Structure 1
C-alpha cells in the first residue's frame, strides 16, 4: 500500500513499462516513506482513442505518451503529496524521457479498514501491519 493504477496508451514495450513502474515506486518510497517492499502497481493499456485528457484550460499539450496515475493510499500530508508529484515528474522525465505535460496524477485516500492484503483479514486492523 499505496496502490497505483497506471493508464497508458498502447505501444510501450515491457522495458519502458518496467522503467515507468520502478521510477514511480522510487519516488513514492522517498515522498511517503513507505517500505521498499510496499509495492502494489497495476498497468492498464488502452487504444489511443480510449483516453481523453484535455488541459482543463491550463494550456497543456499532451502526446501519445500520456500516463495517468491513480494513487489509492492512507491519508498523506499536503507536503508529502506535493513532494511526490514533483519527484515523480522530475524522475519520469530523467529516467523515462516522459514530458511532465504527459503526466496526470490523482490521489484517493482511504482508511485502515479499507485494506485487506490477503487471507480475508484487514491487516492494519489486526495489527499485522502498522
Structure 2
C-alpha cells in the first residue's frame, strides 16, 4: 500500500488537486499493480516563503507551479518499474491537470511491512496478505 504526499502551490483548485491525485493513483495502479482501493494521498499546499528550490537545477527550467510527489511503499520494485512509474505519473499530470513535466518532482521512500500499521493499531507484518473485516 503506497502512501503518497503531494505538495502543490497554495491556491490550487480542489478540482485540479483531484486530477493530480487521480493521475498519480492511476499510474501506481497501472505501473506497479497497486490495487485500486489503495488510494492514500495527503495533499498539502505551500505558499510564498514555504518552499525554496532552484528553478534551473539539472538544466530544467521550473515555474512557480512545482508539484512534489513523495511515495512511501514497500521495497521490491525494480529500477525499470520505478522509471516507468515516474514517466507515467508525469504523463498523467500533464494530460489531466496541465502540469508541465518540468514541474514534477518525484521521490520514492521504500521500507518493509514492519514499518507500517494501516488500521486498528495492528502491526502490518502480521496482516501482510490479509484484508480487514470492518467493511
TM-score (norm 1): 0.92
Structure 2 unpaired stretches of 5+:
none
Match of 2:109 in 1: 108
List gaps (5 residues or longer) in structure 1.
none
| Divergent runs of 4+, >3 A | 126-130
CA RMSD of aligned residues (A): 1.6
TM-fit CA distance, 1:10: 0.3
Distance 1:37 1:57 in 2: 36
1:45 alignment partner in structure 2: 45
Verify the 8 A CA contact 1:9 1:51 in the aligned structure 2. Answer: no
Whether 2:99 is the aligned partner of 1:98: answer yes
Of 18-27 and 48-57, the range deviating more from structure 2: 48-57
Aligned length: 130
Q: CA deviation at 1:55?
A: 5.3
The aligned counterpart of 2:27 is 27
Q: Matches of 1:56 and 1:122 in 2, distance apart?
A: 43
> 8 Å contact 1:48–1:64 — kept in the other structure?
no
Alpha carbons 1:31, 1:83 under 8 Å: kept: yes
